[in-house]
Amino acid sequence: MTTSTADVVVIGAGILGAAAAHELAAAGHRVVVLERRAPNREGSGTTAGNLHIQAIHTRRPGQPIPADNRRFLPLQLAASQLWGDLEDRLDADLEVRRNGGFMVAETAEQTRELVEKNRMEAELGLRTEVLDGTAARSELPLLSERVVAATWCELDGYANPLLVAPAYLTAARQHGAVVRGFSPVTRIARTGRTWQVSTSDGTWSTPTVINAAGPWIGQVAELGGTRLNMTPVAIQMHVTTRVRPIMRHLVQHIGEGMSVKQVSAGHLLIGGGWPAERLDLSGRSAPSLASMRGNLLQAARILPFLADLQLLRMWAGPLAATPDEMPVIGEVPGAPGFFVAGGTYAFTLAPLWASALARLVAGGSPPLPIDDLGPARLCADAAVTS
């Protein structure tokens, strides 16, 4: 078995691994990307592709701990700026659509939550607008009478998750990166100041490893000698048959997990974090008929025209999650040169995390403070030492 050298080995070729590989290769590092299966066909390729810029709904169905919007918003704003020119930087059509989004409410309590959300967004520098139900329907007549209020954010949008990671990988290759699909990592060992990352067809010797393996972050970390308390989940998406252009905006629900948009091809994509039947990290996670029913009924309650459309297909996709529902990014304690990146809303935050990782690898400071998001809080132990 051959041993080759690299400046950085990135494990995972979803959007986070691909974005990090591009940033690092563009900065002059010799980068190798290792992916267990085909690039972007696992977690990243099965996501909805939403660009969440206004404060998110804090709970998906079955989520025990709410997300911390006050912590997320500065990250979302920084990521929003990077998404603004991403197609130009990658010289690729990513089907980025920034047509704005509505976050809707159906009850007085949810409306109060929208108002408080709007105050927080204003404090943190994000411009949103609170609309009553009549005003919201004036802007988007597709909304039902059940919508009593909404917040509008002009920066919300989406991109095609099947295009973004491949474009990042293409750009990374143009800077010399090597991308190896169907190369699951079987062993990670530290020898002196370097890491030995082994696959079935060879070993890579490198001072820096980036674990961007999505739902498999915990498994990869354990190969490197560290146990991370990750809580991966599988959620599902639903897509209708193609119809004429009818809805330009992203629509979400403040109190329940729901997101709806019409993609460039004309399909309506309905998601929002409803759980799959089960999580299967060794194969394909199975969709849930109960979640399908709940998600579709909920979406049709807010956007009644959906009830007349035919469901084309549904699928389940795994995603990385943490017990505190926050991202994880940074160097693993006791494992110098071993970095982790992943967690909640990784699609939206991917350009920001790629920039942060490139700076951290170079010994610099990330674009925003992220010490509180480091892997130390998730470490069950730190068996690897320098």
Residue-wise pLDDT for 121-171, tens only, equals 999 999 999 999 999 999 999 999 999 999 999 999 999 999 999 999 999
For residues 159, 165, 166 and 169, what is the CA-based torsion angle, rounded to 10 degrees?
Answer: 140
Q: Is 30 left (phi over 0), alpha (psi -120 to 50) or beta?
A: beta
User: Phi and psi (nearest 5°) for 153?
Assistant: -130, 120
3-state secondary structure of 307: helix
Segments making up each domain of the chain, as ranges:
3-45+162-231+324-382, 76-157+234-318
In the structure encoding, which two tokens stand for residue 209, read together?
Answer: 């490893």
382 band by pLDDT with thresholds 50, 70 and 90: very low
**Predicted pLDDT at 62:** 78
In the structure encoding, which two tokens stand for residue 191, read together?
Answer: 């020898």
**Side by side, which strands form the sheet with 149-153?**
129-132, 149-153, 101-105, 250-253, 259-262, 268-271, 233-240, 311-319
* pLDDT at residue 359 tops 80: yes
3-state secondary structure 333-384: CCCCCEEEEECCCHHHHHHHHHHHHHHHHCCCCCCCCCHHHCHHHHEEEECC
258 band by pLDDT with thresholds 50, 70 and 90: very high
Distance, in Å, from the CA atom of 294 to the CA atom of 286, rounded to the nearest integer, reads 16
Q: To which CATH superfamily is domain 76-157+234-318 assigned?
A: D-Amino Acid Oxidase, subunit A, domain 2 (3.30.9.10)
**Predicted pLDDT at 381:** 54
Q: Check: CB of residue 214 under 8 Å from CB of residue 346.
A: yes
Distance, in Å, from the CA atom of 332 to the CA atom of 167, rounded to the nearest integer, reads 29
Distance, in Å, from the CA atom of 34 to the CA atom of 17, rounded to the nearest integer, reads 9
In the structure encoding, which two tokens stand for residue 182, read together?
Answer: 């169907």
The secondary structure element, H or E, covering residue 195 is strand 194-199
* Tens-digit pLDDT profile for residues 76-90: 999 999 999 999 999
Q: How many CA atoms lie within 13 A of 218 on its CB side?
A: 19
pTM of the model: 0.95
* Tens-digit pLDDT profile for residues 159-208: 999 999 999 999 999 999 999 999 999 999 999 999 999 999 899 999 99
Mean pLDDT estimate for the chain = 95
Task: Please name the fold of domain 3-45+162-231+324-382.
Answer: FAD/NAD(P)-binding domain (3.50.50)
Intrachain domains 3-45+162-231+324-382 and 76-157+234-318 with the same fold: no
The secondary structure element, H or E, covering residue 125 is none
Q: Check: CB of residue 149 under 8 Å from CB of residue 128.
A: no
* pLDDT at residue 383 tops 60: no
Residues in the chain: 386
State mean pLDDT over 316-331: 95
For residue 275, the 8-state DSSP code is B
- Per DSSP, helices labelled H in 249-303 are 289-302
Bridge pairing between strands 187-191 and 268-271: unpaired
Bridge pairing between strands 259-262 and 268-271: antiparallel
Q: Check: CB of residue 226 under 8 Å from CB of residue 334.
A: yes
**Predicted pLDDT at 247:** 98
Whole-number CA gyration radius for the chain: 21
Which residue type, as a one-letter code, is found at position 44? S
In the structure encoding, which two tokens stand for residue 255, read together?
Answer: 């109190």
**Predicted pLDDT at 385:** 36
For residue 57, the 8-state DSSP code is P
